[in-house]
Structures are given as C-alpha cells and as structure tokens.
C-alpha cells in the first residue's frame, strides 16, 4: 500500500522558503537564456545562485547525476545533462531544477523559447502549462491522484498533444522522489488519497510527435526518436484542506499567458 508522507509545520515552512528560493534561481537562469549561451553556462549560473542563497542543489550527485540543472533542448524530453551546446534562435529549452533548504527538497521546471519563436513552439508551451494548472486545480485534501492525472490527460488530449507517459510527477520532501507517483495519464497510484500536509511535484511532459524515445549514451538524456519537440512544466504543491498551495509558482517566469 502506498504511504504518503505528511509534512510537519516546520517542514512545510522550510519548503515554502525553499520554494521561493527555487523560483529565484529559475528566474535568474531564464533571464540568462539567449542565443549563443551554452547549457554549461546556465548550469553554472544555477549552482552559483543556489549557493549564494545558502541552499544546496537537489540534482547534483543524485544517483551520480553530474549537474545542477537538467536542460532539455527541442526533442530532449527530460534528464538532459548540460553541455557546451550553444542555444540557437527558436530553440525550445526545458529547465528542470531542484533545491534543498533546511533538509527539504522543492522541484520545478519551466520551458522557454530562445529568442524569437521562429519554429512556432509557444502553442505547445502554452498547452502543457495549461495542463499543469488543470492538474493542480484538482489538488485538495482527500482528492485522489487519479483526479489529477485525469485532468492533465484531458487537457493535453484536448490539445492533441502526445503525453510522454513514462515520465511522471511524484511526492517530494525530505527526499527528492517520494510516494505517490503522479502520472500525466490515469494509471499508477490512481486511487491513492492525498492527505492534508502532503506535498507533490506535478509535471506534465508532452510533445507534438510520437511517444517513442531513446536515451543518449550518457544514460540520462531521453529524446524523442522522431525529433519532435517536447515541453515540460513542473511545480511543487502543498495539499491543504482548501485546495492547492503552489510552493514554486512559475507565473513570473513563463513567456505567455495561459
């Protein structure tokens, strides 16, 4: 039986503070996104900012992952290690980051277009972010995970997007990945009830091509086999009796209005 961790008042306070810091980090990284900047440079900016805030990166060293960010470009889906690739006009870049503050993790991701949207990626970004909001709106004490998954699935399917079903959201807190699994289509842990004081990371990941994907030789970066672009948005959400409290709000970072 899936056991969902309930956070103490002190842990929730730490996650609120950590979430605010994580938004600062993402804002600084997104602000540095431009043509010809390298993914490694963005990673260094994130690490420097996290350290300056007195926090620690969640990803660096996690299962031997070698970087602070995951930076997935165009057909990159998730878990792509920053390298010396220099961003080009119109690239779709997904930036995923986690941060530890007072022993508690928060996790968030945002997708952006580099420079001008010459390839027409913004409708994809808008749809995936809209699905994030749809799933989040289902969050409240006593709700089932399946309600969140169904809302995300319905939203993405309505926009005729391909859900990358193998990649899912999750509980988050003292560990980066905790129970429950929060899929973007109804499936795993669908009947798990979310108690007040639990915290989850909701993260729809979807694209415009096929679902088939492979992994780079580094063993981390997942990419679509047909080269079609994928967008990824994620935020950390506290479950309360009155509904969701987003601990890592992205509204000040996104490039569009949902």
Count CB neighbours of 68 within 10 A.
28
**pLDDT average, residue stretch 106-115:** 98
Q: Is residue 258 part of a domain?
A: no
Considering the chain, what is the average pLDDT of its residues? 97
Q: Is residue 1 part of a domain?
A: no
Q: How far apart are CA 146 and CA 186, in angstroms?
A: 6
Q: Is residue 230 part of a domain?
A: yes
End-to-end CA distance of the chain: 37
Q: How far apart are CA 59 and CA 176, in angstroms?
A: 8
Confidence of residue 157 (pLDDT cuts 50, 70, 90): very high
DSSP 176: S
Q: Is residue 2 part of a domain?
A: no
> Is the distance from CB of 124 to CB of 231 less than 8 angstroms?
yes
Model pTM? Answer: 0.97
pLDDT greater than 90 at residue 1: no
User: For 164, how many CA atoms within 13 A lie in the half-sphere containing its CB?
Assistant: 28
Tokens of 14: 């730490």
**pLDDT average, residue stretch 158-162:** 98
Range of the domain at 54: 9-246
Q: Is residue 159 part of a domain?
A: yes
45-77 per-position pLDDT tens digit: 999 999 999 999 999 999 999 999 999 999 999
**pLDDT average, residue stretch 5-23:** 98
> Is the distance from CB of 169 to CB of 149 less than 8 angstroms?
no
pLDDT greater than 80 at residue 114: yes
**pLDDT average, residue stretch 167-182:** 98
Q: Is residue 251 part of a domain?
A: no
The CATH number of whichever domain residue 170 belongs to comes to 3.90.230.10
Q: CA nearest 186: which of 159, 165, 160, 164?
A: 165
Please give the pLDDT value at position 124. 98
What's the sign of the alpha-carbon dihedral 67, 22, 145, 228?
negative
In the chain, the number of structural domains is: 1
pLDDT greater than 80 at residue 257: no
């Amino acid at each position: 039986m899936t056991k969902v961790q309930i956070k103490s008042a002190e842990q929730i306070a730490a996650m609120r503070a950590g979430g605010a810091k994580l938004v600062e980090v993402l804002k600084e990284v997104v602000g540095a996104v431009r043509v010809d900047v390298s993914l490694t440079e963005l990673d260094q900016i994130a690490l420097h900012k996290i350290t300056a805030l007195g926090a620690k990166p969640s990803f660096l060293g996690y299962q031997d992952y070698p970087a602070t960010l995951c930076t997935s470009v165009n057909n990159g889906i998730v878990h792509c290690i920053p390298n010396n690739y220099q961003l080009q006009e119109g690239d779709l870049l997904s930036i995923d980051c986690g941060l530890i503050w007072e022993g508690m993790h928060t996790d968030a991701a945002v997708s952006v277009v580099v420079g001008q949207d010459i390839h027409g990626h913004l409708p994809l970004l808008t749809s995936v972010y809209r699905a994030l909001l749809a799933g989040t709106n289902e969050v409240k004490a006593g709700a089932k995970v399946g309600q969140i998954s169904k809302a995300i699935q319905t939203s993405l399917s309505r926009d005729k997007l391909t859900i990358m079903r193998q990649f899912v959201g999750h509980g988050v807190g003292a560990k980066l990945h905790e129970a429950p699994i929060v899929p973007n289509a109804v499936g795993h842990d669908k009947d798990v009830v979310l108690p007040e004081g639990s915290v989850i990371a909701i993260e729809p990941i979807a694209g415009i091509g096929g679902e088939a994907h492979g992994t780079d030789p580094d063993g981390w970066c997942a990419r679509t086999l047909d080269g079609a672009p994928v967008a990824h948005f994620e935020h950390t959400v506290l479950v309360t009796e009155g509904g969701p409290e987003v601990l890592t709000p992205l509204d000040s970072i996104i490039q569009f209005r949902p």
